[in-house]
Amino acid sequence: MPEIKVTPLGAGQDVGRSCILVSIGGKNIMLDCGMHMGYNDDRRFPDFSYITQNGRLTEFLDCVIISHFHLDHCGALPYMSEMVGYDGPIYMTHPTKAICPILLEDFRKITVDKKGETNFFTSQMIKDCMKKVIPLNLHQTVQVDDELEIKAYYAGHVLGAAMVHIKVGSESVVYTGDYNMTPDRHLGAAWIDKCRPDILISESTYATTIRDSKRCRERDFLKKVHESIERGGKVLIPVFALGRAQELCILLETFWERMNLKAPIYFSTGLTEKANHYYKLFITWTNQKIRKTFVQRNMFEFKHIKAFDRSYADNPGPMVVFATPGMLHAGQSLQIFKKWAGNEKNMVIMPGYCVQGTIGHKILNGQRKLEMEGRATLDVKLQVEYMSFSAHADAKGIMQLIRMAEPRNMLLVHGEAVKMEFLKGKIEQEFSINCYMPANGETTTVTTNPSVPVDISLNLLKREMALGGTVCYGDGFLVSSEQALKELGLNEHQLRFTCRVQLQDPHSDPDTLHRIYTHLKSVLKGYTIQHLPDGTVMVESIVIKVSSSAEDPNTKVLLLSWSYQVTFLRC
Amino acid sequence: RKTYLSPAKKLRLSKPSKSAALHVDLCKATNSTDALQYLLQFARKPVEAESVEGVVRILLEHYYKETDTSVRLKIASLLGLLSKTQGFRPDCIVDDIINTLCNEKSHQVLAQLLDTLLVVGTELPDSPAVRQRLVQVSCKHLSDTYFGVRNKCLQLLGCVGTVDAPLSKDVRDVQSIISDYFGDQDPRVRTAALKAMACRLLSDDYEQVRSAAVQMVWVLSQLYPESIVPIPSSNEEIRLVDDAFGKISHMVSDGSWMVRVQAAKTLGSMLQVSPHFLEQTLDKKLMSDLRRKRTAHERAKELFASGEFSSGRKWADDAPKEKLDTNTVNLIASGACGAFVHGLEDEMFEVRIAAVEALCQLARSSPTFAEKCLDFLVDMFNDEIEEVRLQSIHVLRQISTHITLREDQLDTVLAVLEDSSRDIREALHELLCYTNVSTKECIQLALLELLKNLNKYPTDRNSVWKCLKFLGSRHPTLVLPLVPELLSTHPYFDTPEPDMDDPAYIAVLVLVFNAAKSCPTMPALFSDHTFRHYAYLRDSLSHLVPPLRVLGLDPVDSGSASGSVESAQLFLQQSLNRISTIQNLEAPGAQDLLNFTIRDVQRLGHLQTQLSGAADFCATYLRCQLLLMKALQEKLWNMAVPLCLKQNVTATAAARQILEETYKLEFLYGGLENRQIATIHHVRLQAKALQLILSARTRQGLDPLISSCEKFLQEIEAFQRSFLTELPHLHDSFVDKLLELKPRISACSSVELVKILQTTLRQSGLLQLRLPEQIHRATATIIEPTGESDNPLRFTSGLVVALDIDATLEHVQDPQNTVKVQVLYPDGQSHVIHPKPGDFRKPGADRHRLITQVYLSHTAWTEPSQIEVRLLLSYSSASSSLSSSKHLGWSDSSDGLQSPEAVVEGTIPFSKPVKVFIMPKPARR
Every domain of chain A and the residues it spans: 3-210+391-447, 214-386, 455-488, 496-566
Residues B756 and B784 in one domain: no
The answer to whether B296 faces chain A, any CB pair under 8 Å, is yes
**Closest to A89 measured CA to CA, from A120, A118, A58:** A58
Out of B255, B333, B412, name the one closest to residue A193 (CB): B255
Structural domain including B610 reads: 562-763
How far, in Å, CA of B601 to CA of B615, rounded?
Answer: 6
For residue B446, pLDDT beyond 60: yes
B205 and chain A in contact, CB less than 8 A: yes
Residue B159 inside a domain? The answer is: yes
Q: Any CB–CB contact under 8 A between B315 and chain A?
A: yes
Nearest to A212 among B296, B326, B415 (CB): B296
Interface test with B, best of A229, A285, A396, A424 (most B CBs within 10 A): A396
Q: Is the pLDDT assigned to residue B27 strictly greater than 80?
A: no
- Residue in A with minimal Cα distance to B424: A258
Last residue of a domain, one of B181, B205, B229: B205
Could you tell me if B73 and B190 lie in one domain? yes
**End-to-end Cα distance, chain B:** 96
pLDDT at B311: 38
Rounded-to-integer distance, Cα B777 and Cα B842, Å: 18
Q: Is A430 on the interface with B (CB under 8 A)?
A: yes
Q: Half-sphere exposure of residue B466, counting CA atoms within 13 Å on the CB side?
A: 13
Cβ contact, residue pair B382, A219, below 8 Å: yes
**Is B205 within 8 Å of A210 when comparing Cβ atoms?**
no
Q: Which amino acid is at B751?
A: V
Please say whether the structural domain A3-210+391-447 has been given the CATH code 3.40.1160.10. Answer: no
Interface of B with A in 653-682 (CB under 8 A): none
Domain boundary at B150, B184, B205, which? B205
- Which residues have C-beta within 8 Å of that of residue B505, sequence separation ≥ 6? B498, B499
Nearest 10 degrees: Cα torsion A18, A24, A26, A31: -20
Distance in angstroms (rounded) separating the CA atoms of residues A226 and B614: 53
Task: Determine the pLDDT at residue B894.
Answer: 37
Look up the CATH number of the domain holding residue B70. Answer: 1.25.10.10
Q: Is residue B555 part of a domain?
A: no
- Pick from B352, B342, B334, B368: nearest CA to B265: B352
| Per-residue confidence (pLDDT) for residue A148, from 0 to 100 | 93
Does the distance separating the beta carbons of B412 and A399 come in below 8 Å?
no
Contact of A539 with chain B, judged by CB distance below 8 Å, is answered with no
Distance of CA A29 to the CA centre of its chain: 11
Chain B residue with the nearest C-alpha to that of A217: B296
Residue B753's contacts (CB-CB under 8 Å, 6 or more residues apart) are B709, B712, B713, B745
Query: Does A301 touch chain B if contact means CB atoms closer than 8 Å?
Result: no
Least reliable range by pLDDT among A166-175, A423-432, B88-97, B397-406: B88-97
Query: E strands of A397-495, at which residues?
Result: 409-413, 434-436, 444-447, 455-456, 471-473, 477-479
With pLDDT > 90 as the criterion, what percentage of chain A qualifies?
25
Q: Is A429 on the interface with B (CB under 8 A)?
A: no
Check if B349 contacts A (Cβ < 8 Å). Answer: yes
Task: Determine contact: A29 vs chain B, CB below 8 A.
Answer: no
Same domain, B702 and B608: yes
Asked if residue B617 is part of any domain, the answer here is yes
Are B578 and B666 members of one domain?
Answer: yes
**What are the helix and strand counts (H, E) for chain B?**
39, 18
The total of other beta-carbon atoms located within 10 Å of residue A333's CB is 25
Most confident residue range from A43-57, A67-81, B192-206, B300-314 = A67-81
**pLDDT of amino acid A22:** 94
Q: Do B167 and B26 have their domain in common?
A: yes
First-to-last C-alpha distance (Å) of chain A: 20
Enumerate the residues of chain B whose CB falls inside 8 A of the CB of residue A365: 315
Query: Which of A215, A216, A399 is closest, CB to CB, to B332?
Result: A399
Strands A496-504 and A529-532 turn out to be: unpaired
The answer to whether residue B834 sits within a structural domain is yes
How close, in Å, is residue B470 to chain A by CA atoms? 25
Give the Cα separation of A369 and A353 in Å (integer). 21
B808 and B757 inside one domain: no
- Beta strand A63-65 pairing with A90-93: parallel
Which member of A171, A203, A247, A253 is catalytic? A203
According to the model, what pLDDT value does residue A141 have? 93
Question: Count H helices, E strands: chain A?
Answer: 16, 30
In 3D space, the residue among A326, A325, A279 whose CA is nearest the CA of residue A302 turns out to be A279
Evaluate whether residue B747 is within a structural domain: yes
Cβ distance B286 to A224 less than 8 Å, yes or no, reads no
Domain A214-386 architecture? 3-Layer(aba) Sandwich (3.40)
Residue of B290, B311, B376 lying closest to A208 (CB–CB) = B290
Residues 6+ apart with CB under 8 A from A392: A157, A178, A179, A180, A203, A205, A206
Q: Judge whether B793 is closer than 8 Å to chain A, CB to CB.
A: no
User: B595 and B733, same structural domain?
Assistant: yes
Strands A496-504 and A555-563: antiparallel
Q: What is the DSSP letter of A415?
A: S
Q: Which residues pair with A444 in a beta bridge?
A: A6
A150-155 contact pairs (CB < 8 A, 24+): A150/A63, A150/A65, A150/A91, A152/A93, A153/A190, A153/A191, A153/A192, A153/A193, A154/A188, A154/A190, A154/A191, A154/A285, A155/A67, A155/A68, A155/A179, A155/A180, A155/A190
* Residue A307 and residue A269 in contact, taking contact as beta carbons nearer than 8 Å: yes
Per DSSP, what are the bridge partners of residue A172? Answer: A167
CB B348 to CB A288 under 8 A? yes
Q: For B893-904, how does the pLDDT look when each residue is reduced to its tens digit (9 = 90+)?
A: 333 333 444 566
Q: Which helix (H) or strand (E) holds B228?
A: strand B228-230
The dihedral over CA atoms of A514, A515, A517, A520, expressed in degrees to the nearest 10, equals 180
**Same-domain check for residues B589 and B724:** yes
Interface contact A344, partner B, CB < 8 A? no
**Is B293 within 8 Å of A182 when comparing Cβ atoms?**
no
- State the count of interchain CB pairs (< 8 A) between A and B: 111
Query: Nearest Cα to B516, choosing from B526, B501, B503, B502?
Result: B526
Could you tell me how far CA A531 lies from the centroid of its own chain? 69
Please give the Cα distance from A155 to A180 (Å, whole number). Answer: 6
Which range (A539-553, B194-208, B264-278, B740-754) has the least confidence?
B194-208
Q: Determine the Cα–Cα distance for residues A83 and B334; give it in Å rounded to an integer.
A: 52
Does one domain contain both B759 and B787?
no
CA-nearest of A1, A95, A97, A10 to A47 is A10
Tell me which chain A residues have a C-beta less than 8 angstroms from the C-beta of B356: none
Domain boundary among B205, B237, B264: B205
Is pLDDT of B841 > 60? yes
Min distance A183 CA to chain B CA atoms (Å) = 5
In a domain, B28, yes or no: yes
Judge: B255–A365 Cβ closer than 8 Å, yes or no: no
Q: How far apart are the CA of B341 and the nearest CA of chain A, in angstroms? A: 8
Torsion sign over Cα B175, B180, B183, B185: negative
Do the chains contact at A194 and B385, CB–CB below 8 Å? no
The rounded distance, in Å, linking the Cα atoms of B914 and B782 is 7
Structural domain count, chain B: 3
Q: How far is Cα of residue B686 from the mean position of the Cα atoms in its chain?
A: 36
A82 is catalytic: no
User: Nearest by CB to A210, which of B286, B297, B376?
Assistant: B286
Q: Is A288 in CB contact (< 8 Å) with chain B?
A: yes
Burial of B921 (C-beta count, 10 Å sphere; 0-12/13-18/19+): middle
C-alpha closest to that of A237 among A389, A133, A12, A54: A389
Which of A185, A210, A220 is closest, CB to CB, to B312?
A220
Residue A152 one-letter amino acid: A
Q: Which residues of chain B have a CB within 8 Å of the CB of A211?
A: 286
Does B697 lie in the same domain as B801? no
**Residues B842 and B800 placed together within one structural domain of the fold:** yes
Residue of B nearest to A220 (CA): B312
Q: Rounded distance, CA B210 to CA B213, Å?
A: 5
State the nearest Cα–Cα gap between A2 and chain B, in angstroms.
Answer: 27
pLDDT digits (tens, 9 = 90+) for B598-655: 888 888 888 777 788 888 888 888 888 888 888 877 666 666 666 666 777 788 888 8
Please, which pLDDT band fits residue B725 given cuts at 50, 70 and 90?
confident
Distance from CA of A378 to the nearest CA of B (A): 20
CA–CA gap between residue B637 and residue B226 (Å, rounded)? 82
B255–A404 CB contact, under 8 Å: yes
| Consecutive H or E run containing B915 | strand B914-921
Q: Is the dihedral of CA B235, B239, B244, B245 positive or negative?
A: negative
* CA-based nearest residue to B827, from B866, B870, B787: B866
DSSP string over A271-313: HHHHHHHHHHH-GGGS-HHHHHHTTT--TTS-SSEEE--GGGG
Is the CB of A425 inside 8 Å of chain B's CB atoms? Answer: yes
A385/A221 Cα distance (integer angstroms): 9
Instruction: Note down pLDDT in tens along chain A; length 571 residues.
Output: 789 999 999 888 888 789 999 999 889 999 999 988 777 788 888 888 888 887 788 989 999 999 999 888 998 999 999 989 999 999 999 999 998 998 888 888 878 877 777 788 899 999 999 999 999 999 999 999 998 999 999 998 888 999 999 999 889 999 999 999 888 888 889 999 888 999 999 999 888 878 777 777 788 888 889 989 988 899 998 887 677 788 888 888 888 888 888 899 998 766 667 777 888 888 888 888 888 888 888 888 888 888 888 888 888 889 999 887 777 877 788 888 888 988 888 999 887 767 677 788 888 888 888 887 777 788 888 888 877 777 888 888 898 899 888 899 999 998 888 889 989 988 988 888 999 999 998 999 999 887 777 777 787 777 766 655 555 555 567 777 777 778 778 887 777 888 888 888 777 778 888 888 888 888 887 778 888 887 788 887 788 888 877 777 778 888 888 876 665 555 4
Do B753 and B804 fall into the same domain?
no
User: Is residue B545 in some structural domain?
Assistant: no
Q: Are the Cβ atoms of A217 and B329 closer than 8 angstroms?
A: no
Cβ pair A19, A76 in contact under 8 A: yes
CB of B756 within 8 A of CB of B746? no
Which of B160, B104, B116 has its CA nearest to residue B136? Answer: B160
Nearest residue of B to residue A185, measured between CA atoms: B384
| ipTM, interface predicted TM-score of the complex | 0.75
Contact between chains at B384 and A395 (C-beta distance less than 8 A): no
Among candidates B253, B290, B379 on the partner chain, residue whose Cβ is nearest the Cβ of A213: B379
B116 neighbors B83 (Cβ within 8 angstroms): yes
Judged by CB atoms closer than 8 Å, whether chains meet at A259 and B418 is answered as: yes
Residue B287 covered by a domain:
no
**Pick from A341, A403, A394: which is nearest to A372 by CA?**
A341
Residue A183: which of B289, B347, B418 has the nearest Cβ? Answer: B347
Q: For A183-193, how does the pLDDT look when each residue is reduced to its tens digit (9 = 90+)?
A: 888 888 999 98
Mutate to test the interface with A, among B317, B384, B393 (most CBs of A within 10 A): B384
Of B224, B249, B223, B228, residue with least CA distance to B238: B228
Which residues of chain B have a CB within 8 Å of the CB of A293? none
Per the CB < 8 A criterion, the answer to whether A152 and A93 are in contact is yes
Question: Which CATH code of 3.90.550, 1.10.10, 3.90.1570, 3.30.310 fits the domain covering A496-566?
Answer: 3.30.310
